[in-house]
Amino acid sequence: MRNVLKTTTVIATAGLALTLAACGSGGSSSGDSDPNKALTVVASPTPHAQILQYVKDNLAAKAGLKLDIKVVNDYVTPNTSVQDGSADANYFQHVPYLDEFNKKQGTSITSVGTVHLEPLGLYSKKAKAVTELKDGAQVAVPNDATNEGRALKLLADNGVITLKSGAGTTATVRDIATNPKNLKFKELEAAQLPRSLDDVDAAVINGNYALDSGLKPAQDAVVLEKAEGNPYANILAVKKGKESDERVKKLAELLRSDEVKKYIQDTFQGSVIPAS
C-alpha cells in the first residue's frame, strides 16, 4: 500500500492505538477468550459501528455476549490493534484490502465472515452523469492499492476509461489504457475524499465515508457499484487463531442474522446491502 500506510498515518493514530492497548490490557488480548469478558471490536463509524451498536443494544445480551465497540476513522489502526492484541476483532474492511495489508505489513489477520457491502460510488457537484464530465476534469480516487483499483474499475465499467489487460484489484492510474476525456487523477487518502468534492470535478468515494459525510449513495452517486458478484463485501476479522473464540463466533452469527439484515435494509435504504 502507498499513502494510507505512510508513517505519518501511523503516527497520527498512535495515540488511539495506545488507548486501545490500554483497554486491551485488562483482558481483551488475542489470547483471552473468556466468554464472560467483553469482546473488543474496532470499527469505522458508519455503518460498521452503527450496526455493532444495534447488535449490542438488541441482540447481544440474549446471546450471552458482551461487546466493547471502539470507533476509529482510519484504515490502519483496526488491523494493527487486532494484530498486537489490544483488540479482539475489527469490522471495517473487505478481503482484497485485508489480503494486501497482510502481504505488505506481515500481519496474520483473517476473515470470519462477510456482513455487508457498501457500494463504491462516483460523486460530483458539477456533473449529474458521467457524460457531463468535461475534458481535463479532475477526479479524486482513493490512494490505497485495493480501493484505487476498485475505483478505476468502476470508471471503466461505466465507459469513462479503459484499463490495460490484466489490470487487477491493485490497478493504479498507470494501468489506464485509454482516457478519452483526458481526466486528471488526484490520489487521496480515502477519508479525505468527501471533503475533496469542493475542489475537484468528481470523486470516487468509499461507501462508509460517503455515509459518514451525509451523502446517500443510493440517491447521490452519479454511478454506483453493482452488488451482484461484488468481491468487496465487508467482513468481521480477527487475528489468525482467534476464529475459535466463542465470543467471535457469536458475533459473526449475530451480524449475519435476519434481524441485522432487516436493520441494514431499513436503516440504509440500499446504500448498504446485507451480504447474501
Rounded to the nearest 5°, which phi and psi values hold at 185?
-100, 135
* Contact between residue 107 and residue 79 where contact means Cβ atoms under 8 Å apart: yes
CA dihedral 110, 116, 122, 124 (to 10 degrees): -120
Q: What band does 62 get if pLDDT is binned at 50, 70 and 90?
A: very high
At 81-107, the pLDDT tens digits run 999 999 999 999 999 999 999 999 999
Strand, coil or helix: what is 90? strand
Three-point CA angle 257, 101, 209, nearest 5°: 60
Consecutive H or E run containing 108? none
Question: In this predicted model, what pLDDT tens digit does every residue of 129-138 receive, in sequence order?
Answer: 999 999 999 9
Contact 197, 127 (CB under 8 A): no
Q: According to the model, what pLDDT value does residue 10 have? A: 36
pTM across the whole model: 0.75
C-alpha to C-alpha distance for 130 and 223, rounded to whole angstroms: 8
pLDDT in tens, 122-131: 999 999 999 9
Burial degree of 220 (CB within 10 A; 0-12, 13-18, 19+):
middle
Going from the N-terminus, what domains does the chain have, and what CATH number goes with each?
Answer: 3-119+231-274 (3.40.190.10), 121-224 (3.40.190.10)
Distances (CA, A) of 68 to 5, 76, 121: 26, 19, 31
Average pLDDT, the chain: 89
Q: For position 6, what pLDDT does the model report?
A: 34
Which ranges constitute the DSSP H helices of the chain?
A: 7-12, 14-24, 50-58, 60-63, 77-84, 95-105, 145-157, 207-212, 217-220, 246-255, 258-268
Is 182's pLDDT higher than 80? yes
Three-class SS state of 106 = coil
Of 58, 39, 55, the C-alpha closest to 47 is: 55
Q: Which of 29-38, 75-84, 224-233 has the lowest mean pLDDT?
A: 29-38
C-alpha closest to that of 198 among 144, 135, 140: 140
DSSP state letters, 133-199: PPTT-EEEEE-SHHHHHHHHHHHHHTTS-EE-TT--TT--GGGEEE-TT--EEEEE-GGGTGGGGGT
